[in-house]
Amino acid sequence: MFERNISTDELLEIVDSGEVIEEYPGRQPCPAALILGFISHTAYHVVAAFCQDTLVIVTVYLPEQEDWVDFRTRKKSH
């Protein structure tokens, strides 16, 4: 997150107002999800794990437009 110049406030805004676009219920050690959010019209993806009563941010990144449809659905690889 810091390598990508994403502030804690921006991260919280993405998680708070974002949309879960993929769920990973079998992920270990905790279930996780991929969240799509926008800051100043820029799309961000957040992978968050839900460990009992704690939210763990795994990573935050700018999704590559060529890999996604509207940043919500993965494009099928050829």
Q: Is-contact 36 21, C-beta < 8 A? A: yes
Q: What is the mean pLDDT of the chain?
A: 92
Residue closest to 39 by CA, chosen among 12, 60, 10: 10
Does residue 77 form part of some domain?
no
pTM of the model: 0.89
Please report which confidence band the pLDDT of residue 2 belongs to, taking 50, 70 and 90 as the band edges.
confident
Number of domains in the chain: 1
Residue closest to 27 by CA, chosen among 50, 55, 46: 50
What length is written for the chain? 78
Range of the domain at 12: 8-65
Please report which confidence band the pLDDT of residue 77 belongs to, taking 50, 70 and 90 as the band edges.
confident
Does residue 49 form part of some domain?
yes
Does residue 51 form part of some domain?
yes
- The predicted structure's pLDDT at residue 59: 92
Does residue 57 form part of some domain?
yes
* Contacts (Cβ under 8 Å, ≥6 apart) of 7: none
- The predicted structure's pLDDT at residue 78: 54
Does residue 53 form part of some domain?
yes
Does residue 74 form part of some domain?
no
Does residue 71 form part of some domain?
no
